Amino acid sequence: MLLKNKIALVTGASRGIGRGIALSLAKEGCSVIISDIDEVELKNVEREISLLGVRVLLIKCDVSQKDQVNEMMQKVQEIFGKLDILVNNAGIYPHKSFEEITEGDWDRVISVNLKSIFLCSQEALKIMPNGGRIINISSIASFVGFNGLTHYCASKGALNSMIRALALEVASRKITVNAIAPGVIETPGAHNPDKNLENQTISMIPLARMGQVEDIAWAVVFLASDLSSYITGQTIIVDGGWTLR
């Protein structure tokens, strides 16, 4: 097991990519703290992880709220004593044309997708030992534009810049900070019942298939392990080649 005896926290873990990351970390021997605002779905993930024979802790948390993040990290410290791996996965992507985006829409996306990275990372560093890992889920939307997602693209582009600066600041502690930028991943939230549109999407991907949750989850496992100890400040694109065109 690559991550035996490690403690990991995954935000936005109730479904999709976050759920897949939490399960993959658990399969590699991690004790896993799963966090989300959806406690009902989170309990299902908690049950799945417990069947793998590792410790699991469920914490309901809105990661855009400082007080809730602080309480979550305090609980992690009380129960586990440390945090080796932080996976900042929580994010939202509400489609809306630029002219229709309100100030509230903008602030919400930036708070959940970017401010939460600041809040969670800052608190995690207080209980993270030397050699820890901070892994952030970005998006290919930080490299290419998408209609109706200006606020989302901006939040992910800022995230890519933020990790480079943070990686420099924590390098003396041998803590690495990286991001993964998924392409089109087949999740319940991204499912399109229109087969013609799905086929059009696949035609744009050189590897000719939709990405699977596991494609992202195993990239996270790699960055969380000692196999990636010399990689920091990088955004790794996992998109089947979409951004090569």
Helix (H), strand (E) at residue 159: helix 150-170
**Active-site residue (options: 139, 152, 176, 219):** 152
Helix (H), strand (E) at residue 7: strand 7-11
CB 112 within 8 Å of CB 64 = yes
Residues sharing a CB contact under 8 Å with residue 70, sequence separation 6 or more, in sequence order: 123
Residue 152 is a catalytic residue: yes
Structure tokens at 26: 């658990």
Task: Give the span between the Cα atoms of 167 and 127, in whole angstroms.
Answer: 17
**For the purposes of burial, counting CB atoms within 10 Å of the CB of 151, is it exposed (0-12), middle (13-18) or buried (19 or more)?**
buried
Structure tokens at 162: 């933020």
Strand order in the sheet with 31-36: 56-60, 31-36, 7-11, 85-88, 133-137, 176-182, 235-238
CB 237 within 8 Å of CB 243 = yes
Task: Give the span between the Cα atoms of 232 and 159, in whole angstroms.
Answer: 14
Q: Which residues are catalytic?
A: 152
